[in-house]
């Protein structure tokens, strides 16, 4: 039989009547379905059912913790499902469905009111910041019905255990209600450093703490790095693709450009050893200076690859993070990319390896030294003389993990490419292009938790 499913935020109880058993806490007798008494008020119910004939019907009665029942609705054979939202003034805790003339309940879902809400996570600032505007986004919070946003000058930040003090006169945006949206564009702001925060709110007056504030320096729009991860729910066809061509505009002119983790390429980070990379530039395969590069045959090309030149036994790494913001386990199905070799290759090899790690919290890739699982490694060729490649030596790599890589709800998947020089000296630049990451949703991967409940029969 099916068990209740506990979800983040308000508890969600899902029961299935199609397998012949009586779900936990329920009683079923002669078409009389009686639910357990839920520990909190129910905000919404969803039902699926079947009808053996045109005259089949059922009456739904809802009962508060104390007092008599209320008839919510009468179901008929005209449909096979129904959903009902209850006003915040109600306190319905249990339900009775009285069936007649061949009505059979297939499933019943109860959404309980939240006592508290998690603070929004995954707050990120897009890279189209100007001196007076920026766009912010965040992950949805289970059980939230809306969000309030705040922008204030960094000079008045007042951190405390209960969150940041809000409502001060110097706040530029003070608790603006943006509804159920999980993104917002701010315009007309002063060109000074500001802080952004967001809080979630739900039914019955429940409000979360504010998310950890993010600083946005509008006096220097390029100066923003952010810790973020790509939500798996946002992927079309469960697939992520990246060709790095967005760096073409950034590196179209000579000189070093700012590299900002989580911003220059959304959700991507880059490091030299344990230190965050601060700059990168165009390179066509020439030179011996170590660094992070946007690789292309010509600077005017709109296509780019992402790579690095490692020297003196140092190590460059870059990668992307994903977060499972869904209610079921997700698996990494495959990882495909082109491993590329550019530029000098004189006598010194480099390796380009890709590794993965699943963690319980979002963090910088450089924070984890041990625990990585290597999936593939590509080694550069050795040439007898120094040479510059007019076009890269490109090797397709496609990896299907030999051991299952599963990401449970709330967990984070990190994928990291590492370029390492095997010894000091002139080396080949290595890079990647056309990355495709494919996931699959485990159909049986709901996180199931048996919730305690009591049953008080109602008349």
Distance, CA of 4 to CA of 433 (rounded, Å) = 44
Buried b (16+ CB within 10 A) or exposed e, 267-293: bbbbbbeeeebeebbbbbbeeeebbbb
pLDDT recorded at residue 376: 87
Distance, CA of 144 to CA of 178 (rounded, Å) = 12
Reduced 3-state DSSP string for 19-73? CCCCCCCCEEECCEEECCECCCCEEEEEEEEEECCCCCEEEEEEEECCCCCEEEE
Name the CATH superfamily, with its identifier, for domain 124-224: Immunoglobulins (2.60.40.10)
- Strand 239-242 and strand 70-76: pairing? unpaired
What is the band of 160 on the pLDDT scale with cuts at 50, 70, 90? Answer: very low
Could you count the other beta carbons within 10 Å of the beta carbon of residue 146?
14
CB 204 within 8 A of CB 218: no
Question: Three-class SS of residue 323?
Answer: strand
pLDDT recorded at residue 348: 58
* For residue 454, pLDDT beyond 50: no
Per-residue DSSP letter, 247: H
CATH of domain 12-112: 2.60.120
List, in sequence order, every residue forming a beta bridge with 58; answer none if it has no partner: 75, 99
pLDDT recorded at residue 227: 86
* For residue 385, pLDDT beyond 80: no
* For residue 459, pLDDT beyond 60: no
Work out the average pLDDT over 116-140.
83
pLDDT recorded at residue 423: 58
pLDDT tens by residue, 27-53: 998 889 999 999 889 988 999 999 999
User: Residue 407: left (phi > 0), alpha (psi -120 to 50), or beta?
Assistant: beta
CB 198 within 8 A of CB 111: no
CB 268 within 8 A of CB 255: no
CB 441 within 8 A of CB 326: yes
Counted residue by residue, the chain has a size of: 459
pLDDT recorded at residue 432: 95
pLDDT recorded at residue 268: 96
pLDDT recorded at residue 442: 67
User: Residue 287: left (phi > 0), alpha (psi -120 to 50), or beta?
Assistant: left
pLDDT recorded at residue 439: 96
pLDDT tens by residue, 91-109: 999 999 999 999 999 999 9
CATH 2.60.120 segments of the chain: 12-112, 234-442
Among 123, 120, 121, 125, smallest CA distance to 217 is for 125
9-18, 250-259, 396-405, 445-454: which range is least confident on average?
445-454
pLDDT tens by residue, 302-332: 999 999 887 766 789 999 999 999 888 999 9
pLDDT recorded at residue 314: 76
pLDDT tens by residue, 324-382: 998 889 999 999 999 988 865 545 567 889 999 999 988 889 888 788 999 988 776 65
Among 351, 341, 347, 410, smallest CA distance to 378 is for 351
Q: Which helix (H) or strand (E) holds 249?
A: helix 247-250
Per-residue DSSP letter, 118: P
Buried b (16+ CB within 10 A) or exposed e, 339-359: bbbbbbbbebbbbbbbbbbbe
Distance, CA of 123 to CA of 183 (rounded, Å) = 9
* For residue 388, pLDDT beyond 60: no
Average pLDDT, the chain: 82
Distance, CA of 136 to CA of 139 (rounded, Å) = 11
Residue with more model confidence, 420 or 294: 294
pLDDT recorded at residue 25: 84
pLDDT recorded at residue 289: 76
pLDDT recorded at residue 440: 92
* For residue 229, pLDDT beyond 50: yes
Q: Which residue has the tokens 């049986």?
A: 444
Based on C-alpha coordinates, what's the Rg of the chain? 28
* For residue 158, pLDDT beyond 50: no
pLDDT recorded at residue 363: 87
CATH ID of 234-442, from 1.10.1760, 2.60.120, 3.30.70, 1.10.287: 2.60.120
Query: Among 49-63, 125-139, 387-401, which range has the highest average pLDDT?
Result: 49-63
List the 12-16 sheet strands across, edge first: 12-16, 103-112, 42-51, 81-85
């Amino acid at each position: 039989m099916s068990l209740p499913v506990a979800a983040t935020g308000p508890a969600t109880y899902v029961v299935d009547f199609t397998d012949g058993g009586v779900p936990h806490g329920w009683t079923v007798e002669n078409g009389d379905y009686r639910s357990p008494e839920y520990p909190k008020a129910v905000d919404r119910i969803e039902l699926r059912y079947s009808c053996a004939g045109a005259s089949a019907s059922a009456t739904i009665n809802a009962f508060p913790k104390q007092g008599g029942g209320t008839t919510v609705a009468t179901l008929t054979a005209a449909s096979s499902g129904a959903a009902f939202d209850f006003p915040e003034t109600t306190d319905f805790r249990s339900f009775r469905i009285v069936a007649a003339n061949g009505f059979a309940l297939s499933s019943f879902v109860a959404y309980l009111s939240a006592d508290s809400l998690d603070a929004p996570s995954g707050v990120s600032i897009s890279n189209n910041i100007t001196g007076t505007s920026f766009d912010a986004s965040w992950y949805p919070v289970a059980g939230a019905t809306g969000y309030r946003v705040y922008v204030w000058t960094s000079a008045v930040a007042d951190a405390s255990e209960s969150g940041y003090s809000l409502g001060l006169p110097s706040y530029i945006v003070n608790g603006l209600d943006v509804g159920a949206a999980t993104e917002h564009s701010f315009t007309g702001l002063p060109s000074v450093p500001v802080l952004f925060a967001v809080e979630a709110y739900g039914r019955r007056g429940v409000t979360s703490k504010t998310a950890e504030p993010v600083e946005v320096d509008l006096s220097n729009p390029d100066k923003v790095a952010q810790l973020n991860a790509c939500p798996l729910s946002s992927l079309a066809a469960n697939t992520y693709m990246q060709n790095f061509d967005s760096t073409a505009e950034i590196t179209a002119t000579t000189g070093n450009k700012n590299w900002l983790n989580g911003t220059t390429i959304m959700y991507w980070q880059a490091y030299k050893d344990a230190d965050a990379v601060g700059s990168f530039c165009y390179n066509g395969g020439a030179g011996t200076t170590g660094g992070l590069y946007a690789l292309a045959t010509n600077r005017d090309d709109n296509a780019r690859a992402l790579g690095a030149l490692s020297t003196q036994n140092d190590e460059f790494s870059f990668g992307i993070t994903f977060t499972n913001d869904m209610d079921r386990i997700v698996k990494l199905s495959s990882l495909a990319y082109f491993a590329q070799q550019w530029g000098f290759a004189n006598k010194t090899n480099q390796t380009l390896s890709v590794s993965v790690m699943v963690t319980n919290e979002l963090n910088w890739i450089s924070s984890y030294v041990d625990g990585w699982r290597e999936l593939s490694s590509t080694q550069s060729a050795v040439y007898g003389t120094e040479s510059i490649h007019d076009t890269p030596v490109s090797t397709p790599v496609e990896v299907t993990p030999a051991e299952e890589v599963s990401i449970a709800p709330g967990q984070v998947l990190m994928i990291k490419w590492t370029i390492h020089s095997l010894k000091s000296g002139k080396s080949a630049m290595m890079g990647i292009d056309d990355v495709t990451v494919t996931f699959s949703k485990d159909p049986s991967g709901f996180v199931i938790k048996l919730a305690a409940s009591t049953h008080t029969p109602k008349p």
